[in-house]
Structure 1
Amino acid sequence: MNESATLPSLYRRLLVWLLVPMLLLGSLVLAQAYMASRDTADRAFDRLLEAASLAIAEQVKRQQGQLWMDLPPAALKMLASQAEERVFYALYDANGNFISGNAELPALDDTAADMRFADIEWHDMALRLGIRRSQLEGWRNRQPFEVRVAHTREGREALTQSLFQGSMLRLVAMALLAIGVVLLGIRMALMPLTRLRRAIRARDPRTLAPLDLALPRELAELRETLNDLLARMRRVRANQERFIGDASHQLRTPLAGLSARAELALRQDDPRAWHAALDVMRGSADKTARLASQLLSLTRLNNPEATPEAVAIDLCHTARQAVRDAWTQCHRDGIDLGVEVPAHPVMQQAVEWQLAEALANLIDNARRYGARRITVRVTEEPTRLEVEDDGPGIPESQRLLVLRPFHRGIEGGQGSGLGLAIVDGIARTHGARLSLAPAHPHTEPPGLCVRLQFSEEGTP
């Protein structure tokens, strides 16, 4: 299953990151709108309670030595609403004695305010209670008293719901408009990304030309990154095409020579001619096999996915093994092959098969180009691998050129021109410094010393 199909799209992520905070903010706004509606309804009905208590207080008089009131119907009608809430009132003297009313309402904590309001529970009913402190207006007797007025909350709740519904409708309309704007904004913002995707899909898979598309600054950086990748791919493809062309030419020549030598031998009747042809064919076959092996090594080296992780290895063991592997061939050619290593292990972070391949190529190069004495050496402080020979050496003007594939330092040499290129690639893979210098600069021939010097960071 395609992993990209299971991941949320960028459009969906933007929707989540924008709409979720908007929903949370909308919820807070709705909660605030509800509380504001309830406060507005409370203030409106509290003003009615205050007006009703004032109307009742104006009717309180002193008659026959005690308080008395004649309650007008309008005083309670102003508290009535379509919710048909229940209304209660009562008159109390200064000592808290009930004088008159339709219910004995409770008192509130004593405060200095002339008008007080409170939500109370009374006989299993939720009431809003208002208490007015007042006194008679006569100049002879200014007896204090309290007027207590209360009503149930149906009207307040109905007004709260009405105000909240009006606010909610406006908020929902604004939220829908905001969501529409967000959706449109996201689509418009992602339009350049859609154009980039379509431009990439419409390209010929074989072309590596850079993208030329006007994009916003953030996507322009992505476009430049893609163009850099395409440029590296162009260089890689050019190198591959050049390498394939060179390799096919190098392999075609010895194979054609084998075919021609075999055809020529078949026309001969002399067994000695056959023996000579087979001997030449054996040499060509060995050379072709070596070339094919080096081509495979170079291909394997240039494939980063096939390169294992570096581990700590003993360079002394690697050098001894390389000498053992090349001993038979060098001994047959009369070459003195030896190794110089410390008595103790010299550890280095490296890929063992690559270092073994580098030593094998250096020994083979020295053998093929006329060396009579070859020494493989390991040193420490700094850590180095060296292959030294007494052959003709490489002129200073040729030392960079011989690191290129298929370039031979000596015209007509037996090598394929890949050995030092492989060693150079292995050195770069290990972060080592590759140097070519005369082994004996004051003698003739000067010989050659190829040195791989490792950095201190790779030493365990």
Structure 2
Amino acid sequence: MAPRTERRPGSLRSLLLWILVPAQIVVLSLALWFSSRQLHQQVDLAYDRSLAGALRAIDHNISTASGGLAVELPYLMLEFFELTANDSVYYRILTEDGLADIGNQDLPLPGARLPSNTPVFYDRDYLGATIRIAALARPMSPPLYGQQDGRIVVMVGEDRAGRDRVIRDLMIRNVVRDLVEVLASTGLIVVGVLIGLRPLTRLYRRLKRRAPDDLSPISAPELPREVQPLVDAVNQHVARHARQARRQRQFLDDASHQLRTPLAVLRTQLDYALRESDPAEARAALLAMRGGLDQAQRTAAQMLALARARGADTPAGSLRPVALTPLAQDVIRQLYGLARQKRQTIALEGGELDATVTGVEWLLREALVNLMDNAIKYTPEEGAITLRIERTPGGMVLSVRDTGPGMTETDIRKAGRRFRRGQAGKRGHGAGLGLAIVHTIMQRHGGALRIEPASPGVRVSLVFPGDQGFPGKSPA
């Protein structure tokens, strides 16, 4: 099967012109057709009034008082009417029973019976031409031949050629006028479309001249209101791209900052181990290298987790109820081996509450793993770690308490920042990527990271709001 080729969309300018110009031509054509019909009606009305006047004039000169049908034709009026019509004029006067007939006796009668005292107008072919005929029937007064219901029929006809010439001349004028209007309005439409699309053309040229790294919002107040939503959507997309670019640059800065020193230390230790001839000293250097590799591996994993948490999109459709008790139990099983190496005990309290929060399960798991990992790291051997789930008036709280050295007030205030530095020998000393990851995740969930000193150790809590809101991403 041949691949389907997508149709390339045309320009907006061509689309508008192909819609507006033919539509205008169709509308003007319909208007010309209606005006033609009205013109025929108006011309016929004007000529029919003249024809009715001649009909009435002849009727007034008809008499049956002498016992027969007598008529005195108004020749001057008929001559004037013929000159006005510029064509031949015909007349016929007859009784309805046909016993008396004067004038053009083959002038055709209408197909139906004529009403009394009301002129009737119709077209007929006569002597090879189309003529317009006005016919009037009225009772005879006095009646002839003793017929009380007898009527006289008066007919006047004229050739339609004259009025058709008038209609044709007027139609030619109307067509010329409408053609001028079409051309003028088409030109105005073309100019209007070009002027209306000029702001889009200027915006296109301005964006084309931009530097590749220029992600500033588009400012185009001169654009029409209909285009502004599109510009707003583009600005939102560019803003998301700019945030993503900042995260990537930040990740590269973090990676270079955090991995440069461990790699340099490893290189130094490796050189020392290669130069050392004493096996014991060489083994000690290799063990130190293994510890440095473990620290570098942990730092790299935390940096990837921080970048992933910062770049995580959390639309409303991705939120699901997360049960805290199974989550806590899974994390305890995951890190139990590390705690076992230091002979530490881990307890879970509040697991019977069956508490749930609304969020993204893998992000919450990442936050709890970092809290537990920090607690295991800083709690001395044979220490105790307590993971507690509780409901409070302010919302759901998931806390981790240890019996480690604790944190100073200064370190608590700085908790959640990248690469924070604390007092040497205390818990706050060293990289703060773990708490930074937790802080970022809680921002995504509309919650908070709370650190409180305990005696001994420290208590670190994940506080979820009571309404389980998810207000959106905060700037990383």
Name the SS for the 1:416 alignment partner: coil
- TM-score scaled by length of structure 1: 0.80
The 1:158–1:376 alpha-carbon spacing in structure 2 relative to 1, beyond 3 Å, is farther
Query: Are 1:391 and 2:401 matched, yes or no?
Result: no
Among 290, 306, 310, the alignment partner of 2:319 is: 310
Name the SS for the 2:376 alignment partner: helix
User: Aligned partner of 2:401: which letter?
Assistant: E
Who is 1:271 aligned against?
A: 279
Number of matched pairs: 444
Who is 1:301 aligned against?
A: 309
| Greater displacement, 95-104 / 295-304 | 95-104
User: How many Å separate the matches in 1 of 2:247 and 2:306?
Assistant: 12
Shift of 1:253: 0.8
Name the SS for the 2:400 alignment partner: strand
The 1:127–1:53 alpha-carbon spacing in structure 2 relative to 1, beyond 3 Å, is same
Shift of 1:363: 1.0
User: Aligned partner of 1:248: which letter?
Assistant: S
CA contact (8 A) 1:369 1:415 kept: no
User: How many Å separate the matches in 1 of 2:37 and 2:385?
Assistant: 95
| Greater displacement, 40-49 / 15-24 | 15-24
Who is 2:474 aligned against?
A: none
CA RMSD across the alignment: 4.2
Deviations for 1:153-173, whole angstroms, at most 9, x for unmatched residues? 666555444423321221121
Shift of 1:416: 3.1
Query: Are 1:436 and 2:440 matched, yes or no?
Result: no
Name the SS for the 1:196 alignment partner: helix
Among 287, 292, 296, the alignment partner of 1:288 is: 296
Deviations for 1:313-361, whole angstroms, at most 9, x for unmatched residues? 3221111010111111112123222222433643333322211111111
The 1:27–1:398 alpha-carbon spacing in structure 2 relative to 1, beyond 3 Å, is farther
Query: Are 1:447 and 2:451 matched, yes or no?
Result: no
CA contact (8 A) 2:135 2:155 kept: yes
Shift of 1:238: 4.8
The 1:392–1:157 alpha-carbon spacing in structure 2 relative to 1, beyond 3 Å, is farther
User: How many Å separate the matches in 2 of 1:39 and 1:165?
Assistant: 17
Shift of 1:237: 4.4
- TM-score scaled by length of structure 2: 0.77
Who is 2:145 aligned against?
A: none
Query: Are 1:105 and 2:109 matched, yes or no?
Result: yes
Q: Structure 1 regions of 5+ residues with no counterpart?
A: none
The 1:233–1:263 alpha-carbon spacing in structure 2 relative to 1, beyond 3 Å, is same
Q: How does 1:89-168 map to 2 (within 5 A)?
A: 89-93=91-95, 99-100=101-102, 101-103=105-107, 105-106=109-110, 110=115, 116-119=119-122, 128-132=132-136, 145-150=152-157, 156=163, 159-168=166-175
Among 255, 259, 269, the alignment partner of 2:263 is: 255
Deviations for 1:219-238, whole angstroms, at most 9, x for unmatched residues? 78877886787677666645
Deviations for 1:53-97, whole angstroms, at most 9, x for unmatched residues? 256446645696312347658488459768x9xx76431448897
Who is 1:404 aligned against?
A: 417
User: Aligned partner of 1:131: which letter?
Assistant: A
The 1:302–1:160 alpha-carbon spacing in structure 2 relative to 1, beyond 3 Å, is farther
Shift of 1:270: 1.7
Name the SS for the 1:205 alignment partner: coil
Q: Structure 2 regions of 5+ residues with no counterpart?
A: 143-149, 471-476
Percent sequence identity over aligned pairs: 29
CA contact (8 A) 1:90 1:105 kept: no
Name the SS for the 2:134 alignment partner: strand
Name the SS for the 2:273 alignment partner: helix
User: Aligned partner of 2:331: which letter?
Assistant: A
Shift of 1:28: 4.0
| Greater displacement, 73-82 / 378-387 | 73-82
Query: Are 1:350 and 2:350 matched, yes or no?
Result: no
CA contact (8 A) 1:391 1:448 kept: no
Shift of 1:449: 2.4
Q: How does 1:71-90 map to 2 (within 5 A)?
A: 74=79, 77=82, 89-90=91-92
Who is 1:426 aligned against?
A: 441
Shift of 1:438: 1.6
Deviations for 1:403-422, whole angstroms, at most 9, x for unmatched residues? 12222455466753211111
User: How many Å separate the matches in 1 of 2:280 and 2:183?
Assistant: 100
Deviations for 1:256-293, whole angstroms, at most 9, x for unmatched residues? 11111111011112221122112111111111111111
User: Aligned partner of 2:106: which letter?
Assistant: N
The 1:436–1:36 alpha-carbon spacing in structure 2 relative to 1, beyond 3 Å, is same
Q: How does 1:195-234 map to 2 (within 5 A)?
A: 195-208=202-215, 215=222, 218=225
User: Aligned partner of 1:317: which letter?
Assistant: P
